[in-house]
Structure 1
Amino acid sequence: MSMRVCEQWQSPKSASGVRFSWSAGGSRRLPRALLALLLLLLLFVLEHRCSANLQPCDFLEIQAGTWQRSLTRASTFPPPAPDDVTFLQDSIGVDVIHYSYDGPINIPIVVNRYFGDPEERARQIETGGIPRTVRLIMPAWDIDYTTTTQHQPERDQVYFNDQFVGTLYGSNGAWKMNIFPIPIELVNFPDTLGDNATSWVRIEVDVSNPKPVWKTAIDWTVLAIPAPRPVMLVHGWMSDSSTWRNMQNSIRINTGVPTVAIDLDPVGAVFDNAYSLQYELEEWRQRFAVQEFNIMAHSKGGLDSRCYTNSNTHSEYAYDVHQILQIATPNAGSRMADLLYDYHHLTLGQQLFLSMFISANELIKMGTWHITTEFTREFNRRCSQGRSRASLSVVSGRVPNRPFWLFNFPFLDIAELAYGHDDDSADPRHWGDGVVSVASAHTIASPRSASPLRGTDCDHLDIIAEQASKIVKIYHDDLIEQKKPTYQPENYHQPIDYRSAAADPQPLRQMSAAVRNANTPFAPDLSTDYPWKDVCT
């Protein structure tokens, strides 16, 4: 018998009334055995739960799901930069692993851009400015669309504003890009400037299995809505924003594109008006929540716009003008303006007539000097179109050899003195609208095929009011030209599996054939397997 002293430890009685005694030498054996037994029991329970409810590989993934996803999300499908046609949700409702017992995934997409009032939007859709179907883009993780287990394959139903639009597609443990066509009538738009409208994406997770089996997560969500740029209307010499009323109404009726008419100094210098135009664009871009405008400019407003959009003449140009659509702009100057500064070679009667016209309208201003041929010659040298990011087009006017009035004066005589107005001449330098010759308007800018518009109501002032419908038809395609999202996921993405995230990334490849057909309507038959092909396989 061992010489060690046996210590008796009086434990509480067991259920049978037997007291347990422990020797000093064996005091550690029973607790270790119990611990091992408890551990085996716990592992058995966990294994049974995993085999009953989860695919085997999912048990490990759920322990470090967030960590794993963080390794690959940035390199797989980095979120696009939001802009005025790309509306991103990257914080609310995303980046969380969901089982069916967690409830649906709810993701709000906020549209903060003003696309026009309901009537304008409807007209844009009719004319093709806004497409009838837009795209919902989202990377989804770990969609077990096919499985070899006893469970039903994963089916995650996607709803947009409570309307079923499709089912997520993917594969186990990997990110896959999903793209859904959304009918435009389902999208919520703000109806007034400065407002927001929210559309909701709801994803019902794993609807095919009565118990939670599969999980998923959404990295980010984008709603891409191509649309025309709004139009800023810039008035000309001796004018103001009220001259655009007929044009605004015609643009609204024929295209639905929203417009805003601004006021600049009617006789201000082109450089000063360029700064005023910059401030107007900054304000209205914020109010519309857009990045770019199209400019439609009349007369000297076309020179003000050219000055702003040219890096040589305006170093602070913000690249916020897509194109300039000119009407009767004196791109090579106006010889009528030349006469206002030098009419001493004319007869006494002609001088008296011009002096009365000048004093009645207070015309000797810097802005008047800036439409002379002398100034525009130097201006065109410095403001070459090659230094502008905005394209430039023009429509000019041409009036017949009949008396007409401008600025409350009979103007045919002034036009004949200025540029030798003769509508019957074969030389286009003698054609004009009374203030600007056709040859001057067609300098620098690209004349449209319908230019010049010819008729008694095509003089320098009447052309934007009386010929508004014709001008809108001429510029129709430019006005409804869509700004398209720069983010096109099928062009440069491919899936990266979690387990290969540490490896060198594979070469990017361009895929387009597997994109879902945006013109195919979705039938909400939930019993049907939708064989969506993800765009990256």
Structure 2
Amino acid sequence: MRNRFACLCTLGIALSGGHGVHAASSFPAHRGTSPWSFTSVAEPSSRFVVNDTDSSTIDVYLLRSQGPIVIDVKTRRYIGPTDAQGHLLNLPQLRARGIVGDTATITLPAYDVDETTPPNTDCDFDGTVDQLKPEIDDLYLNGEKIGTLTGGNNRWLQNAFSVPINKLKFPSAPGQTATNQFRLDIDVGNKDAVLSSGVVGCDRWAVTIDWIGVQYEASSPVVMVHGINSSGATFGGFQNGLQAQFVMANDISINLTDPVAPDPVPPGCPDIDYNNSIKTNVEQLRRLVPVIAEKFGSETLHFVAHSKGGLDTLGFLSSTASHPISVRVGSMGGQFVRRDIEGRSLVTLDTPHAGSVLAQFGVEARQLTSLQALRANVTAAAAKRFEGAYYCDLQPSRASSFVARTQLPAGVEAASIASDADCDGDHKIGLWATCPSGHSEAEGFPGGALMANRLYRMIGTVSTVEITVIPIRFAPDEVHVVTEPTTSFQTSDTIVSQASAAFYKKSDITGWHHVNVHSRENGEAIATDTQAGRLSSWRKR
């Protein structure tokens, strides 16, 4: 028992030793006097935020007249829009979809809470024992009472309270910080006690708080990675679909650039930077993704990647296992709380995991002059005209080898969307064939139905291609294009076959081609499936 007549002295309790943090995290060591570090709950992160030192009333033994104890706990984790006070909007929808948990847990070690100690003493020194109450310390969150401390005389006890998630404040926009204020009113039962002398109130009990931690569940932000000859803006419709399902923490800011083409581009695939576009894009992702993670205040991320962006993202996520990337997700004691980036899931949209015969055409066409390509055939001419750094990486043998040797880190769930642009099953892409979604098979495809159908038929019937040039003196060289047929027709999105796209847990869809597969409708469908845990799980992960 401690009261106002007792001198403050060093508590005879062994302090917990300095915490040996894992390589995946960095934060200040516990500095209080309780036997429990905050790591007895979890390591500080975006979803477990702690105040261990940043208050003049932490780690101080205080009577009611010296209180209240006030401790602010800050969070940088953006989940979605808030009201003016910082409370999440659309909570029923967020909870139903697993975007946020139902409750948060508040944990705090408290010393010398005399809830069962006999309270009576002569508080006013008039020789008469006053009738007092045991210690009652009420805890408030943002001005609302959430519970009363428990404990015992001259001992520490770790208190925990579960509160509805709507009691917490969150940032109203990415990059901002929200403050949740805790106030402990000390010995409230004796505040208005009438003493034998007629004096009102007695400072009977005192208490110490070591730290406060707030832990909650939330779904990770979704980062979108585009494919070749594209940009993050192509995900605009898809982003609208995510937001229609209340996935508000999402990002389409990534814009990858290919290596600069040498002049002239050498034939084949010599080992030069230009021909290693996956490596180049992985390096860019290692610079860009940490900025996004810190903006959302989250070390955990979901990824949705289109076309070759799926291979780039696979390479990026794999690199985080061997070369972790540390990001700032909060602060404690004037130091940053840092965590290593963790991918939680990867959904690929028509990614050529087994390459594409179109890329092989591109590599073969590099040996041709523009005139030779025109004389060869339309496909060779197009491949020559649209020369790209991605050709080598997307050759079937090279893409397959990359995927086989590049592993996702443990814990990353993966799924693949594999689309067939043909809605009616006639193995053709037409301008007038209407899909269930209401659009035509070729709607929005560059070059229209004629180009879409030509590519669809070629991918469906050609497995490999080889181009040879035979020099002819005093005449144009002979160009021979030899193709090997597929054993059966290969359905595709006009660029990538379904067989190549369906590498992870797959979802086959029809009526979407390579250029419109990241539509609003598919954004909504993927959000719904992941929120239900069918495709992969985004629920509170």
Normalized against structure 2, the TM-score is what? 0.70
Match of 1:462 among 476, 492, 516: 516
From the superposition, tell whether residues 313 and 264 of structure 1 become closer, same or farther in structure 2 (CA, over 3 Å). Answer: farther
* Count of residues in Structure 1 that have an aligned counterpart in Structure 2: 414
| C-alpha distance in structure 1 between counterparts of 2:99 and 2:79, whole Å | 11
Question: Is the 2:362–2:384 Cα contact (8 Å) retained in structure 1?
Answer: no
Measured after TM superposition, the shift of residue 429 of structure 1 is 6.7
Question: Is the 1:236–1:266 Cα contact (8 Å) retained in structure 2?
Answer: no
From the superposition, tell whether residues 95 and 348 of structure 1 become closer, same or farther in structure 2 (CA, over 3 Å). Answer: closer
User: 1:337-362, CA deviations, whole angstroms, 9 ceiling, x for partnerless residues?
Assistant: 222233799x99994311442355x2
Question: Is the 1:124–1:257 Cα contact (8 Å) retained in structure 2?
Answer: no
The question of 1:84 aligning with 2:46 is answered: yes
User: 1:97-116, CA deviations, whole angstroms, 9 ceiling, x for partnerless residues?
Assistant: 11112131111111222223
From the superposition, tell whether residues 166 and 429 of structure 1 become closer, same or farther in structure 2 (CA, over 3 Å). Answer: farther
Name the amino acid aligned to 2:218: A
Measured after TM superposition, the shift of residue 427 of structure 1 is 8.3
Match of 1:309 in 2: 317
Match of 1:367 in 2: 390
Give secondary structure in 2 for the equivalent of 1:180.
strand
Match of 2:139 among 153, 158, 161: 158
Give secondary structure in 2 for the equivalent of 1:213.
coil
Match of 2:294 in 1: 286
Match of 1:418 among 452, 459, 475: 459
| C-alpha distance in structure 1 between counterparts of 2:244 and 2:315, whole Å | 31
Measured after TM superposition, the shift of residue 226 of structure 1 is 1.2
Question: Is the 2:459–2:490 Cα contact (8 Å) retained in structure 1?
Answer: no
From the superposition, tell whether residues 338 and 415 of structure 1 become closer, same or farther in structure 2 (CA, over 3 Å). Answer: farther
User: 1:196-223, CA deviations, whole angstroms, 9 ceiling, x for partnerless residues?
Assistant: 1212111111111231111111110011
Question: Is the 1:336–1:415 Cα contact (8 Å) retained in structure 2?
Answer: no
Name the amino acid aligned to 2:38: P
User: 1:252-288, CA deviations, whole angstroms, 9 ceiling, x for partnerless residues?
Assistant: 1113341111333365501110111111111112222
Match of 1:395 in 2: 417
Give secondary structure in 1 for the equivalent of 2:354.
coil
The question of 1:203 aligning with 2:229 is answered: no
Match of 2:405 in 1: 382
Give secondary structure in 2 for the equivalent of 1:226.
strand
Question: Is the 2:374–2:381 Cα contact (8 Å) retained in structure 1?
Answer: no
From the superposition, tell whether residues 229 and 134 of structure 1 become closer, same or farther in structure 2 (CA, over 3 Å). Answer: same
| C-alpha distance in structure 1 between counterparts of 2:522 and 2:320, whole Å | 34
Match of 1:517 in 2: none
| C-alpha distance in structure 1 between counterparts of 2:153 and 2:68, whole Å | 20
Measured after TM superposition, the shift of residue 246 of structure 1 is 1.2
Question: Is the 1:228–1:480 Cα contact (8 Å) retained in structure 2?
Answer: yes
User: 1:29-70, CA deviations, whole angstroms, 9 ceiling, x for partnerless residues?
Assistant: xxxxxxxxxxxxxxxxxxxxxxxxxx5x66897431x44356
From the superposition, tell whether residues 351 and 462 of structure 1 become closer, same or farther in structure 2 (CA, over 3 Å). Answer: farther
The question of 1:235 aligning with 2:243 is answered: no
From the superposition, tell whether residues 371 and 180 of structure 1 become closer, same or farther in structure 2 (CA, over 3 Å). Answer: same
Give secondary structure in 2 for the equivalent of 1:309.
helix
Question: Is the 1:265–1:273 Cα contact (8 Å) retained in structure 2?
Answer: yes
Name the amino acid aligned to 1:415: Y
Give unmatched runs, 5+ long, in structure 1. 1-54, 484-537
Query: Bigger CA drift: 118-127 or 222-231?
Result: 118-127
Question: Greater share of helix residues, 1 or 2?
Answer: 1
From the superposition, tell whether residues 460 and 313 of structure 1 become closer, same or farther in structure 2 (CA, over 3 Å). Answer: farther
Match of 2:69 among 105, 125, 147: 105
User: 1:10-37, CA deviations, whole angstroms, 9 ceiling, x for partnerless residues?
Assistant: xxxxxxxxxxxxxxxxxxxxxxxxxxxx
User: 1:112-143, CA deviations, whole angstroms, 9 ceiling, x for partnerless residues?
Assistant: 22223228852424533212321111111111
Give secondary structure in 1 for the equivalent of 2:318.
coil
Match of 1:214 in 2: 205
From the superposition, tell whether residues 348 and 248 of structure 1 become closer, same or farther in structure 2 (CA, over 3 Å). Answer: closer
Matches for 1:118-517 after TM superposition, within 5 Å: 118=82, 122=90, 123-150=93-120, 151-209=132-190, 210-265=201-256, 267=258, 269-311=277-319, 315=323, 319-342=341-364, 351-360=376-385, 362=386, 364-385=387-408, 390-400=412-422, 401-403=427-429, 405=442, 406-408=445-447, 410-420=451-461, 430-443=490-503, 445-447=504-506, 451-455=507-511, 458-465=512-519, 466-476=521-531, 477=533, 478=536, 480-483=538-541
Name the amino acid aligned to 1:340: G
Question: Is the 1:428–1:438 Cα contact (8 Å) retained in structure 2?
Answer: no
Measured after TM superposition, the shift of residue 399 of structure 1 is 2.1
Match of 1:63 in 2: 8
| C-alpha distance in structure 1 between counterparts of 2:187 and 2:70, whole Å | 15
Give secondary structure in 2 for the equivalent of 1:475.
helix
Match of 1:7 in 2: none
Measured after TM superposition, the shift of residue 229 of structure 1 is 0.6
From the superposition, tell whether residues 158 and 427 of structure 1 become closer, same or farther in structure 2 (CA, over 3 Å). Answer: farther
Name the amino acid aligned to 1:212: D
Question: Is the 1:257–1:479 Cα contact (8 Å) retained in structure 2?
Answer: no
Query: Bigger CA drift: 141-150 or 269-278?
Result: 141-150
Query: Bigger CA drift: 83-92 or 470-479?
Result: 470-479
User: 1:163-205, CA deviations, whole angstroms, 9 ceiling, x for partnerless residues?
Assistant: 1111101111111111112232222222122221212111111
Give unmatched runs, 5+ long, in structure 2. 17-31, 121-131, 191-200, 260-276, 326-339, 431-441, 464-485
C-alpha RMSD of matched pairs (Å): 3.1
Question: Is the 1:312–1:382 Cα contact (8 Å) retained in structure 2?
Answer: no
Normalized against structure 1, the TM-score is what? 0.70
Question: Greater share of strand residues, 1 or 2?
Answer: 2
Larger Rg: 1
Give secondary structure in 2 for the equivalent of 1:131.
strand
| C-alpha distance in structure 2 between counterparts of 1:367 and 1:261, whole Å | 21
| C-alpha distance in structure 2 between counterparts of 1:349 and 1:403, whole Å | 25
Identity of aligned residues (%): 22
